[in-house]
Amino acid sequence: MFNRLRPLFPYLRRYWRSFAWGCLALVIYNCTKAVLPLIIGRAVDGLRHDLSARHVALYASLLLGLAVVSGTFLYLMRQIIIGASREIEFDLRNDLFANLELQPPSFFQRHRTGDIMARSTNDLSAVRQLLGPAIMYAANTIVFTAAALPFMMRISPHLTLVAFLPLPFASILVQYFGAKIHTRFERIQAMFSDISAQAEENFTGARLIRAFAQEEAQIAAFEESNREYIRRSLLLARLMAMLWPTLELVLGLSLMITLLVGGREVVLHHITVGQFTSYNVYMVQLTWPMIAIGWVVNLVQRGTASVTRIHALMIEKPAIDDSNADASLKDVAIQGDITFDHLRFTYATGPEVLHDISLHVPAGSSLAIVGPTGAGKSTLTALIPRLQDADAGMVLIDGRPIASYPLATLRGAIGTVPQETFLFSATIHDNVSFGVPGATRDEVVEAARVAHIADEILEFPHGFDTIVGERGVTLSGGQKQRTAIARAILRDPRILILDDALASVDTYTEEQILNGLRTVMQGRTSILIAHRVSTARSADRIAVLVDGRVAELGTHDELLARGGYYAELAEKQSLEQELEAV
């Protein structure tokens, strides 16, 4: 177990001072607490000789003084130790997030989002409980038992032996029930996540459900999940209901033994009534620390498993990094000359997707990529900003392998509009300026103008300050795409990659955007993936990708003359247009 907790050592080392001060407070608190029963005993015994108000007042003030001291140190102990565990949780969460943020997209394919979220929330909270409450209560039990035991033994070793006997059972009971409670609680949580996800999908997919008239079926499915949730909750309630009476039975047994054996000792004049009273107070004081031990065992088991799970994510080194980069290229001005040299590419799973592709896109030129769905177009473009990594030397920019550029430099020179537009739940301004956080409003509006979205945005109630997504307006597919184009343009990139970015706009808007882009992209390299000939035709060259191979390459006219896939596509689309016009 010690080894499994090793990943926490650097964090514990960082906060060792807090833990040391916390432990000091813990020792003082427990020592004062252990003296308390003695004073009560003395007070009771004293009453036999001096039955005066002064005597009572003296002991009452002594007890009050002790209570104040122990209360103060109890506060300090909790504040310092729990505080330190919260600080460690904070550091761990930051480190975990920072590592996740560096992972390439393939990482998020390998790990389910739900699993990552669970590790970042439940597991982190389990680690915090291990470092805070578990350490604190374990130390509390040890120190208090060590402080109280000599006094108890002095009063009566015989009584101590028998009264202590049932106490470990309280720990075992709590540990046993605790483990079962945890399992049942997790099942409830899992069901609750299912219900939440179900509800969320029903709200976001409201249109689809209404359109398919599936309300009744959805209500029935929800009711079924809800019934399962309540069934699991009742199972937990039953377990909880059994725990406390059982615990009270064990603790009551211990008190009964104390009363029987201790009472006999008093009758036999082996101990005084005051000592007997002290003893009883000790037993009551020991109740919680004994219960806590069982709880601590569970916290430690759960926390240790969570440390392992979090650590597994923390040690995942980003598969795509700067390890082969040449630091002297950090500030190099990338021109945008792209070469694919006998490129082959296979994803972590599945067969080879791109086969022996050799293509050269000179700096400042434009290349359109067309081809059937699944041909590998998106994969090819994802290799340029290294969202996926091809083998060394297969993709070059300005004659250098892309891995030799530091990632920030490489990606800083590229503006990408992905196939699936993602907008943050933020203002349109913030979405457009995502890649250039300090951009002024004028720059943002200018980029939006080129993308032909500015006028539509200005018609929204709050213009560029309109929030998009769940908390604000919902943009149409075409509006989202154009916002994403504005986002890429604002970066003023040397290389612009549009992955089917004009698919959701009509041919008129498409032409407007292309006209705007032509001006902006002068002297820059652009790669456009397109399904429409109207998007591809204006590019300097067009590559037709079929089954991961370049099947055709040339200008619009050359490819038309060739009579292959492209010419067929052009004919089909012009026929469609004619039909539409009719």
Ligand X SMILES: Nc1ncnc2c1ncn2[C@@H]1O[C@H](COP(=O)(O)OP(=O)(O)OP(=O)(O)O)[C@@H](O)[C@H]1O
Residues that bind ligand X in the complex, under the rule CB under 6 A: 109, 347, 349-350, 353, 371, 373-379, 419
Of how many residues is the chain composed? 582
Q: Shortest Cβ distance from residue 351 to ligand X (Å)?
A: 8
Q: How far, rounded to the nearest angstrom, does the alpha carbon of residue 505 sit from its chain's CA centroid?
A: 35
CA-to-CA separations, 204 to 191, 209, 224, 420, 475, in angstroms, rounded: 20, 10, 20, 18, 14
For residue 66, count other CB atoms closer than 10 A to its CB.
16
Choice between 74 and 570, CB closer to ligand X: 570
> 85 Cβ partners below 8 Å, 6+ apart?
128, 129, 131, 132, 133, 135
Q: How far apart are CA 282 and CA 426, in angstroms?
A: 59
Bridge partners (DSSP) of residue 368 are: 528, 542
Rounded to whole angstroms, the Cα distance separating 559 from 548 reads 19
CB of 564 to ligand X, least distance (A): 17
Residue number, 37 or 371, with CB nearest to ligand X: 371
Shortest Cβ 347–ligand X spacing (Å): 3
Q: Which is nearer to ligand X, 32 or 379 (CB)?
A: 379
Q: In terms of Cα–Cα distance, which of 24, 260, 230, 41 is closest to 143? A: 24
φ and ψ at 343, to 5 degrees? Answer: -75, 130
Smallest distance, Å, CB 85 to ligand X?
39
Residue 531 Cβ vs ligand X, minimum distance, rounded to whole Å: 7
Q: What is the DSSP string of 69-101?
A: HHHHHHHHHHHHHHHHHHHHHHHHHHHHHHHHH
Cβ closer to ligand X: 40 or 375?
A: 375
Query: Rounded CA gap, 582 and 580, in Å?
Result: 5
Residue nearer to ligand X on the CB measure, 316 or 456:
316
DSSP string of 368-401, one letter each residue: EEE-STTSSHHHHHHTTTTSS-PPTTSEEETTEE
Q: CB nearer to ligand X: give 145 or 378.
A: 378
CB of 552 to ligand X, least distance (A): 15
Minimum CB distance to ligand X smaller for 371 or for 478: 371
Which one, 107 or 229, has the nearer CB to ligand X?
Answer: 107
CB of 110 to ligand X, least distance (A): 10
CB of 550 to ligand X, least distance (A): 13
